[in-house]
Structure 1
Amino acid sequence: MTHLRSTPRLLAAALLAAAGLLTAGCSAHPSAPGTATAPGAAPSATLPPLPRPAIHEIPVADSTADKSMPVEAYLFSSEQRHQVDTARGTLTAQCMRRFGLAYTPEAPPAASSRGQATHRYDVAAPANGYRPAEPPAPRPAPPQLSPEVVGVLAGSLPGGAKPSTSYHGTPIPPGGCLGEADARLTAQGGSMLDSQLAVGINFDNYRRSMTDDRLTAVFRAWSDCMRAEGHGYPTPDDAMKDPRWKTGTGPASPEEVAVATADARCRQRTNVIGTWFTVESAYEAEAIAGNLAELTGVRQGIAAVVRNAATVNSGGGDR
């Protein structure tokens, strides 16, 4: 059996793009305090209008650790993604062995118990500023593979070169061993990636909520509270995205900790968390109701992929 050996860096970069864990698909989700990336631009440049959703009651909430956003039912959870990534690595390694190649997939990150709501609205650990309570473990450098091996793994070569069709006389499956793994996991339907419709609902209604008058009124109260604490920010998003906090991966500065601590206090005093969760959830529910047929199929597809992954992870995926 051939073991994968070091070769040019360009091929390592190509491998990283081709074989990167599907957890990257989750990065399309809006982030919030306690995560490394602040909310970015939504997939759609212009938001289609939605009626202002009716809200009968806004509960007081200090945390959303026990809550889920409506759209989460139509996105892979962290635990599901971990299962699917693990199975994908197992199937890919099995396929590579058929070609006499020993391939060790990168271990997927551990599943997180924190949902979308916690990432959006809570200051996870003020003592760490706006940095994760538990910084992610560093990812190892990708293996450096020969062009032939990359062809078996991904079914094509860097730079869009002609796809490989065989390796030492053995036909390469479409998309290489990664493509074969994906095809097996989606054999009963579904996709390896989050639905663009669900991702759009996730992003777009975060943005919609930020302009809702019920939330902007609370933001004004929060801003007044922060000003009284000695910090001038219009919204919690502005505090979190202060460029002074983006200076590196080390511990938070005393100033960042002070702002995050005041932010957490002011969110509690002005009910930012309860209001924001309620308002955004109402917008998401409106969007889901308008796309329920398609989203029902998305949910069924996720269930099918996760079932296949569970079979592989329990030892039922050997070939």
Structure 2
Amino acid sequence: MLALALLSLAGCAAERDTHPKGLSAPAVNAYDEIGFPLSDYIFSIQEKTDLENAARLTVADCMRDRGYPVDWPARNPQGATWRLYGVIDIRDAKELGYQARLPEGMTGQDADAAEKNERDGLFAGWSAEKKLAYEGNAPEATGAPSAGATADASGGNGCRDTAAGFHPADGTGSDAAEALQGKVGQKVEEQRAAKDSTATWSSCMKAAGYDYKGPWDANDSPEWHGEQHPGERQKAVATADARCKLSSNWVGIRVALEKQYESDAIRDNLDKLKENKARDTKLLEQARAVIARH
């Protein structure tokens, strides 16, 4: 993970006022109002989907050439309900509580089951020979293909390895920028401005009749775990949560600090980030070329 080590938070760790003077922190009401500097160096949801679909097509071509055709549907972009700061839109909170927006009539449990069925269905009914063509010389004879084998019985690679280039596992590129962004997020939570906003949020919630130390205590409360559809209390708590985030500027302060520290991190790691971005751009070009050929 040398590349991760090369991307440091030196600028963020430097001595600075933990409640920066003159910090501009506009209120944030919806996720489409949020953007971060490091996002320019991280694969978008669509780009990640393109890489996944190119990998599937590459493996499918290999399997066809070996006499084992597969019919794998293309994946659609996932993660449109990304919630870095929990629920912040009061309208969504009133309707959905803490649940993500899903297709009409689908519950969270339905979505989890659909994802599992789609994943498991990729390998349903495969013979041992077909699995071997995919995996290579794997020790497992049954079940979904394993994660470890690379060579088939003839000494070549399994078909899944033909797509390895679309899933870099060396911690560089977009992964390194995401790891750096995570470190920035931790730094933000250490700041007095962020801590003060959480205390203000908690006081606001208490005034509304709910006792939570912080937004994630409300968001992840065990009360909601058994609810396939949000109950009235979940909606009420989520609505108060979103309102208190707005009145305390809980999100706005974090976004402002995140942008400040990410800009510092980019300055201190610019050469490596540019190098990673160039590699990722070539990878996406290759992936989209594969998709265009099919």
Q: TM-score range by the shorter chain?
A: 0.7 to 0.9
Aligned counterparts, 1:1-319, within 5 A: 50-51=13-14, 52=16, 54=20, 56-113=23-80, 118-120=83-85, 122-123=87-88, 125-126=92-93, 127-134=95-102, 135=108, 136=111, 138-139=114-115, 140=117, 141-142=120-121, 143-144=123-124, 145-157=126-138, 158=140, 163-166=150-153, 172=156, 174=157, 176-183=158-165, 185=166, 195-247=174-226, 250-315=228-293
Letter in 1 for 2:264: E
| Higher RCO structure (Cα 8 Å, ≥6 apart) | 2
Give the CA deviation at 1:287: 2.5
User: Against the structure 1 CA distance between its residues 241 and 311, is the aligned structure 2 distance closer, same or farther, given a 3 Å change threshold?
Assistant: same
1:292 is paired with a residue of what secondary structure?
Answer: helix
The AA in structure 1 aligned to 2:66 is: F
Q: Secondary structure at the match of 2:26?
A: coil
SS at match of 1:153: helix
Structure with higher helix content: 2
Question: SS of 2:33's equivalent?
Answer: coil
Deviation at 1:243, TM superposition (A): 2.2
User: For the Cα contact (< 8 Å) 1:83–1:309, is it kept in 2?
Assistant: yes
Letter in 2 for 1:227: K
Determine the C-alpha separation between the residues in 1 that align with 2:280 and 2:216. Answer: 31
Normalised to the residue count of structure 1, the TM-score between the two structures is 0.71
The alpha carbon displacement at 1:191 in A equals 7.2
What CA distance in whole angstroms lies between the structure 2 residues aligned with 1:162 and 1:77? 30
2:101 & 2:224 partners in 1: Cα distance? 15
How big is the shift at 1:214?
0.9
Contiguous gaps of at least 5 residues in structure 1: 1-46
Alpha-carbon distance in structure 1 between the residues aligned to 2:275 and 2:81 = 25
Aligned positions, number: 260
Cα shift readout 1:231-260 (whole Å, capped 9, x = no counterpart)? 111221221122222235x11222211110
1:120-164 alpha-carbon deviations (Å, 9 max, x no partner)? 354352121111112547122332433432232133414788753
Specify whether residues 271 and 56 from structure 1 end up closer, same or farther in structure 2 by C-alpha distance, changes over 3 A only: closer
Question: Residue 281 of structure 1: CA displacement?
Answer: 2.2
| CA gap 1:148/1:194 in 2 versus in 1, 3 angstroms | farther
| Structure 2, gaps ≥5 residues long | 1-8, 103-107, 141-145
> Quick one: structure 1 residues 193 and 96, their matched pair in 2 at CA, closer, same or farther if it must change by over 3 Å?
farther
Contact map agreement 1:190 1:304 (CA 8 A) in 2: no
Shift in alpha-carbon separation, 1:160–1:283, aligned structure 2, 3 A:
closer
Give the C-alpha shift of residue 265 in structure 1: 1.0
SS at match of 1:120: coil
Report the TM-score, using the length of structure 2 for normalisation: 0.76
Other structure's SS at 2:32 match: coil
For residue 264 of structure 1, report the CA deviation from its aligned partner.
Answer: 0.8
Deviation at 1:226, TM superposition (A): 0.6
